[in-house]
């Protein structure tokens, strides 16, 4: 998979490959090390096209949650985590315990203890809350005082939205299908028939 290092324009100068179907490069960052696959970049392109004056952080929750910092049409920062994948593996879900979230947001070093307690109790909301609390503590520069858009659907988006709104963050929600469709339209207008095949 072709990738482009940050900082870089959301819309690339060229697509990779030959023929009628060409690939949208992914994104990569050395420190902290992270990479976002082409579909995440496609969604970011689509969101930016829907909101052309928007600067802030895009959050794409899932097995790997991508945080993408966007400013003036450029991707300026990447951060990622596997907290939601861990939550699913430990019995968590879309519900978020506000108490567990607050506890690990303020003291992320207590995460392992909080998870053991939550799993023994069979409390899926506490599992998800504890993991997202530690996650948001690590990601604080991405959401504190920032415009935040959450792109996606289903339980991961519901959990992340609940966690962010508990911190007073105003969240803009966009479905990943809508964002990616708009991204394809932008690439089609920019590169003709060329497109990224996810």
pLDDT tens, position by position, 99-140: 999 999 999 999 999 999 999 999 999 999 999 999 999 999
User: 52 burial class (0-12, 13-18, 19+ CB within 10 angstroms)?
Assistant: exposed
CA 63 – CA 137 distance, rounded (Å): 19
> Which pLDDT does position 192 carry in this prediction?
78
**Which residue ranges make up each domain of the chain?**
3-191
Nearest to 45 by CA among 172, 54, 140: 54
> Which pLDDT does position 193 carry in this prediction?
53
Whether residue 197 is predicted with pLDDT greater than 50 in this model: the reply is no
CA 162 – CA 4 distance, rounded (Å): 32
Greater model confidence, 18 or 96: 96
> Does the 3-191 domain belong in CATH 3.40.50.11440?
no
Q: How many helices (H) and strands (E) does the chain have?
A: 8, 9
pLDDT tens, position by position, 140-176: 999 999 999 999 999 999 999 999 999 999 999 999 9
CA 11 – CA 178 distance, rounded (Å): 17
Instruction: Tell me the average pLDDT of the chain.
Output: 93
Residue with tokens 């985590």: 81
Whether residue 1 is predicted with pLDDT greater than 80 in this model: the reply is no
Q: In percent, how much of the chain has pLDDT > 70?
A: 96
The DSSP bridge partners found for residue 114 are none
Whether residue 33 is predicted with pLDDT greater than 50 in this model: the reply is yes
């Amino acid at each position: 998979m072709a990738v482009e290092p940050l900082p870089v324009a959301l819309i690339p100068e060229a697509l990779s490959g030959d023929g009628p179907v060409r690939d949208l490069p992914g994104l990569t960052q050395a420190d902290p090390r992270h990479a976002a696959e082409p579909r995440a970049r496609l969604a970011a392109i689509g969101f930016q096209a829907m909101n052309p004056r928007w600067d802030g952080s895009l959050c794409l929750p899932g097995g790997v949650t991508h945080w993408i910092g966007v400013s003036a049409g450029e991707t300026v920062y990447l951060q990622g985590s596997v907290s939601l994948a861990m939550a699913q593996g430990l019995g968590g879900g879309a519900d978020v315990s506000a108490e567990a979230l607050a506890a690990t947001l303020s003291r992320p070093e207590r995460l392992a203890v909080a998870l053991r307690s939550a799993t023994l109790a069979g409390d899926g909301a506490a599992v998800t809350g504890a993991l997202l609390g530690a996650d948001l503590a690590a990601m604080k520069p991405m959401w504190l005082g920032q415009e935040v858009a959450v792109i996606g659907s289903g339980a991961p988006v519901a959990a992340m939205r609940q966690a962010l709104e508990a911190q007073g963050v105003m969240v803009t929600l966009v479905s990943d299908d809508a964002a990616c469709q708009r991204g394809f339209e932008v690439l089609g207008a920019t590169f003709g028939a060329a497109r990224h095949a996810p």
